[in-house]
Chain A
Amino acid sequence: MQSRSGLLFTNRLSVFGLLCASGLVAQDSLLDSRNAVKINIPQDAPVNFVSLTMGPSRATARGAALLLDLHMSLDLRNASPNRVRGVVLRVFAQEAAAGGKASVAVPSLNIGPNDTFPVRIDLQLMRPTQVAAGPVVQVDLDGVLFQDFSFYGPDRLNSHRLLTVWETEAQRDRQHFKRVLAQSGSEGLRREILSSLARQADQPQLDVRVIRRRTVSAAALAPDRMAQFAFVRFPDAPVEPLEGWAEISGGEARAPRIQVQNRSDQTVKYVEMAWLVTDPRGRQYMAASLPASDADLYLPPGKMAQLVQDTELRFSRRGEPVTIEKMTGFVSQVQFASGKVWVPNRQNLENAALLGVLAPSAEEQRLSALYLKRGLTGLTEELKRF
């Protein structure tokens, strides 16, 4: 039997617990989402803002900070006479993280004139409770790419190049599947898409954390060793990698740098290398892409440049650090001064056994998901639409 004082103690504890719980519940409140979001899409833009649908959005107090959950879907209309191939929306929250910015892109579109399409944005912000009034998040149109590769938008996030690259890859992969269909028929296409799905399922993914430090202590960050890049060279690549290094400490890599040379007859304004790492068991992973550090790169024919990034990358898999045994690089993207882009063709990727390591293009991912939903007939019909 319980004593009176014991019973009183448990009563008090329970009341305290209930108060704590009710306090926590009270800190969780619905957000006035319409005032929290501001959409900035100019009236004269070729893509019009039609409507904003807000999902349940919440503000939750977390100590001295506020956690905001925002769920929205924007309906946009193609107001141009051209077909839209891709769109990028900039998501900007000054109060959330110093210079914190993000974007939501939808490539591989095929939106005709006057047709509407949705773009879904789900975001979570952690910010101090004491902040200036005004919208929590602003959404701008950063760029739209059309079927003829014409572009509209302020392009603050290099959306023009990104959308052009994604559309170039999409054309490459649609062409590939169309060729398979023409040469090997429906069964050949089925085999090809099943092999793509199998690659996607087996593709090893690393967890990567990128750190850009404000202050660096040389002693604390002294590397274990300097590792040299090995390169995969494609015969038709306009830029050739010459040599490259990164500082390695266990599962961390810092300050990667690669020397490249323009061997085309055109001036190059952007180069990006793909960076693969191999663990001690010989498993290869796509680690990161290494772009030129200079935003205004100008690389005339025959000239050399160095791609350097002053960041720290930590690699892990299933919570365990991944030791870097070997590093491999290849040119994955080049943009010329004319605006045209080069990406490796499928033959290049296949010959170098890279298809199993690299993520499929956005278009290949879309087409294989479409096959899962709508079967071979749905896929064949979709390929005919382009």
Chain B
Amino acid sequence: MKHPTQATLALHAGGDLGLVARWRTDRHLGRCEQCREQVAAFLGLREVLADLNETPEISWKRLATEMKANIRLGLAAGECVRAEDKPLRNSLFSGARAAVAVASVLALVVTGLVLEHPGPGPANVDGVVVQSTRDGIQVQEGDRSLQLMHPSKQPVTYSVGAQGSMRARYVDPETGYVTINNVYAE
């Protein structure tokens, strides 16, 4: 199922979508609990933020630490109450299991080969390469590289300098600040 973007859900929560987009989003929300929760979170956030405007000071750092601690506590509690694994059957190396084992070994060997001998690409260029990757921007020369990463779920604007530089700009979801990562080839 293709989900609407975060921006669309946020706009829906604020009642800013046009008729068609609203109808399509409503239709999706009708059958997607995950997105419904996201919209509810946006709605909740707007209400909370309105209240926060009247709150003099909040220690965001302390709040974040407490939230992280609660999440860890939840995970630890989950581990404690998890049911024990089912005992293994005697026929440990039945046909299907053996096939899975062989496939795993093959996958490991192939992955190792790919990692050790990367295919033709920027690494083989006699010079410095600046490029965007799945979740960052990178300057690479031979087998050495430096990559600045950005949150993968945020919209990112890339810009390139013909002299050999690249920028990735995004709004930090935690601080709300615009952050601009730069890498340089020179």
Do A214 and B127 touch (CB < 8 A)?
yes
Contact B139 A10 (CB under 8 A): no
User: Once the chains are docked, how many angstroms separate the CA of A102 from the CA of B171?
Assistant: 19
Is B128 positioned at the interface, with any CB of A under 8 Å from its CB? yes
Name the one of A63, A105, A209, A293 contacting B122, with C-beta atoms under 8 angstroms.
Answer: A209
> A384 an interface residue at 8 Å Cβ cutoff?
no
Given A104-B148, A106-B179; A98-B143 close (CB under 8 Å): no
Q: Which residues of B contact A190 (CB under 8 A)?
A: 16
Contacts known (A197-B11, A366-B171, A377-B50); A20 close to B128, Cβ less than 8 A: no
- Whether A2 contacts B95 by the Cβ 8 Å rule is yes
Chain A positions 73-118 with a Cβ under 8 Å from a chain B Cβ: 91, 93, 95-109, 117-118
Give chain A residues whose Cβ lies under 8 Å from the Cβ of B93. 2, 7, 10-11, 14
Q: Which of A91, A362, A373 contacts B176 (CB 8 A)?
A: A373
Contact A117 B144 (CB under 8 A): no
Is B182 a contact of A309 with CB atoms below 8 Å? no
Q: Is the interface of A mostly helix, strand, loop or mixed?
A: mixed
Tell me whether B146 is interfacial, beta carbon within 8 Å.
yes
Contact flags (1/0) for B161-172 with A, using CB distance below 8 Å?
Answer: 111111001011
Asked if A123 contacts B159 (CB within 8 A), the reply is no
A375-B146 contact given A210-B129, A210-B130, A214-B126, CB 8 Å threshold: no
Q: Which residue of A lies closest to B154 (CB)?
A: A369
> B180 and A107: CB pair below 8 A?
yes
Closest chain B residue, CB of each to CB of A71: B149
Establish whether residues A372 and B101, one from each chain, have CB atoms under 8 Å apart when the complex forms.
Answer: no
Q: Are A359 and B159 in contact (CB under 8 A)?
A: yes
We find that the number of chain B residues with CB closer than 8 angstroms to chain A is: 72
Determine the residue in chain A with the shortest Cβ distance to B53.
A381
Question: B121-175: which have CB < 8 Å to A?
Answer: 122, 125-132, 136, 139-141, 143-150, 155, 157-166, 169, 171-172, 174-175
Give the nearest-CB partner of B157 in chain A. Answer: A359
Residues facing A in B89-103 (CB within 8 A) are 93-95, 98, 101-102
Asked whether, in the complex, the Cβ of A210 is within 8 Å of the Cβ of B147, the reply is: no
Cα(A132)–Cα(B32), bound, Å: 53
Query: Are A209 and B129 touching (Cβ within 8 A)?
Result: yes
Closest Cβ–Cβ distance, residue B4 to chain A (whole Å) = 11
Q: Among A35-43, A144-152, A234-242, A282-290, which stretch is in contact with chain B?
A: A282-290
Contact between chains at A100 and B126 (CB < 8 Å): no
Say yes or no: A102 contacts B7, CB within 8 Å. Answer: no
Q: Are the C-beta atoms of B146 and A362 separated by less than 8 Å?
A: no
Kindly state whether residue A194 has any CB partner on chain B within 8 Å: yes
Specify which chain B residues have a CB less than 8 angstroms from the CB of A126 in the assembled complex: 140, 143-147
Say yes or no: is B45 at the interface (Cβ < 8 Å to chain A). yes
Counting contact residues on chain A (CB < 8 A from B), the size range is 35 or more
Q: Nearest chain-B residue to A107 (Cβ)?
A: B178
A374 at interface, CB cutoff 8 A: yes
Complex CA gap A11/B94 in Å reads 10
Q: Does B181 contact A (CB under 8 A)?
A: yes
Inter-chain contact A373/B45, CB cutoff 8 Å: yes
The answer on a CB contact under 8 Å between A98 and B7 is: no
Q: How far is B183's CA from A128's CA once the two chains are assembled, in angstroms?
A: 20
Q: Is A212 in contact with chain B by the CB < 8 A criterion?
A: yes
CB–CB B49/A374 < 8 A: yes
Chain A residues, Cβ within 8 Å of B129: 209-212
Whether A373 contacts B49 by the Cβ 8 Å rule is yes
Shortest C-beta distance, A271 to chain B (Å), equals 13
A317 CB to nearest chain B CB (Å): 12
How far is B127's CA from A125's CA once the two chains are assembled, in angstroms?
A: 18
B116 close to A (CB within 8 Å): yes
Q: Which residue of A lies closest to B99 (CB)?
A: A10
4 closest residue pairs by CB, A with B: A213-B127, A10-B98, A17-B105, A369-B171
Using a CB–CB distance below 8 Å, which chain B residues touch chain A? 5, 7, 10-11, 14, 16, 45-46, 49-50, 53, 93-95, 98, 101-102, 104-105, 108-109, 112, 115-116, 122, 125-132, 136, 139-141, 143-150, 155, 157-166, 169, 171-172, 174-186
Contacts A106-B180, A200-B155 known; list 10 others, CB within 8 Å: A2-B95, A14-B93, A14-B105, A97-B140, A98-B128, A104-B182, A117-B175, A157-B184, A309-B164, A359-B169
Write 24 A-B pairs (CB below 8 A) sorted by A numbering: A2-B98, A13-B102, A20-B105, A91-B148, A95-B144, A106-B180, A107-B178, A120-B179, A123-B149, A157-B184, A208-B132, A209-B129, A209-B131, A210-B164, A212-B128, A214-B126, A291-B161, A309-B163, A313-B162, A362-B180, A365-B178, A373-B45, A373-B49, A378-B49
